[in-house]
A and B are shown apart, each in its own frame.
Chain A
């Protein structure tokens, strides 16, 4: 599905959305009333300092003015890998975007990420993984790290990596692997109305508490994270 198709299916009653060099900004009316703030990265654009500051600004301008939920659409490259972006402190720009999204979510503006194409590494952390519920659209192809780079670092052949990927979701690219980890909460079908699927999610939003580790355990993708975090937390609480 193209971005235009996705937005048309999500918001059949109209929308105000711009896509300026891969930066999506806008809003759209919800069937249930109110408006949803939209932002995101399109066309597999790399997320650099210039893109991130516009996205965070769009959310901050909305806080205090609007009241609806927030949708983050993601079809990005990785973070922009360049001397200029790093010189200017890209880590702060990406963290700032994530912080703004997390703050909004914790303060009455529930956030949903819709991963409809590619994404990777720092770009995914600053967008989809900084939302309360990350939805994957069937056909999306995220890759935290791509296999050729992994082959280089691990000094294993692509064939060997692909063979290992069959038995574990822990490193291999793909939507279903991220779902098993607990990173992607649910997958939406592209064959039925996205507006219906969005309405169903908004009507039944999970609490703001981060349960991705428990989800990863339930789905068998991350068997230790939830238990280790809970044990450390319990022990640390006794330190009071």
Chain B
């Protein structure tokens, strides 16, 4: 017999809920303090994409993103969560504008951080121009908010990963947490294969996809600062940790990032595969990295992985 729900604490429920499998709303509900989430322009307002009907495609009442505010360990936070199950979490006009508006409010207030739960394939092709521009506006709004003192934290572990312009927005954030499933890249595997051929990238080679774009590689490279196990509670703890670590933004950060990225190019620019990068980083048994359980991987990453702290 299963225990009645009331006997399960929110933390236990969050611990046993896969971030990857959960919907955007479930992620937010379990990430934030219980009952604290308030959605802005929710599905009841039916602010749908004005463009999908051109393609006879179904709309969704929230256009694939949930934005609002809540509390994390008692402190107020703004949150946005993309729904990877609707059009691959892609950015369209309405979808993007909701996040832009949230970031602009955070910028004006200056002290309330923003958590972005990425789950996106990038620009929504059916409204490509509006989606691309929405991403440009979000990047600008993230940088304006950070300049005003706002911490913008990205959490990446959804089924659609964080691709295309989503990857660029992630690169603008103060800090990122990623799970093994949370791929971060600009061009997706299929896009590279379509444009450059299967010799360049075999999109059906899932092991290749994970070790080139997946969370473990991104953590070791320093693209993400914290590696989360695939459950909502781990992402909650990662968000709290990153909020404690993220410092103020300024020119020194950009200069340090220039050095960090140039250093990466000179150290790993000739590597043909992620395994070569990990070996060059000093991982004794680089071949075994993809198989390592989360706790062992975190220990390894904390020992030899790079961080982007103060350099992004």
Contact = CB atoms under 8 A, between A and B. Distances in A.
A106 B127 contact: no
Interface stretch (A37-45, A85-93, A198-206): A85-93
Contacts of B169: 95
A224 B41 CA distance: 13
A180 to B, nearest CB: 8
B265 A50 contact: yes
Contacts of B186: 79, 85-86, 90-91, 94, 121-122
A88 B220 CA distance: 11
Given A57-B262, A81-B195, A98 B40 contact: no
B67 interface: yes
A98 B173 CA distance: 12
Q: SS class of chain B's interface: helix, strand, loop or mixed?
A: helix
Interface string A222-240: 1111101111111111011
B78 interface: yes
Interface in B88-115: 93-94, 96-98, 100-102, 104-106, 108-109, 112
Interface string B283-305: 00000000000000000000000
Interface string B239-255: 00000000000010011
Given A83-B200, A89-B223, A145 B78 contact: no
Given A53-B261, A144-B123, A168-B51, A81 B271 contact: no
Given A88-B264, A89-B223, A232-B40, A103 B133 contact: no
A50 B131 CA distance: 27
Given A60-B254, A99-B143, A153 B125 contact: yes
Given A125-B168, A170-B130, A232 B38 contact: no
B194 interface: yes
Contacts of B40: 231-232, 235-236
A70 interface: no
B130 A222 contact: yes
A57 B260 CA distance: 12
B104 A82 contact: no
A171 B105 contact: no
B172 A56 contact: no
Contact of B69 (A90, A103, A239): A239
A116 to B, nearest CB: 19
A183 interface: yes
Given A89-B221, A102-B140, A213-B97, A144 B55 contact: no
Contacts of A87: 212, 217, 268, 271, 273-274, 277
Interface string A209-231: 01011001000011111101111
B147 interface: yes
Chief secondary structure at chain A's binding surface: helix
A171 B51 contact: yes
A138 interface: no
A124 interface: yes
B310 interface: no
A88 B51 contact: no
A130 B125 CA distance: 21
Nearest to B108: A237
Interface of A: 49-50, 53, 56-57, 60, 63, 79, 81-96, 98-100, 102-103, 106-107, 121-122, 124-126, 129-130, 144-145, 149-150, 152-154, 156, 164, 167-172, 177-178, 181-183, 210, 212-213, 216, 221-226, 228-237, 239-240
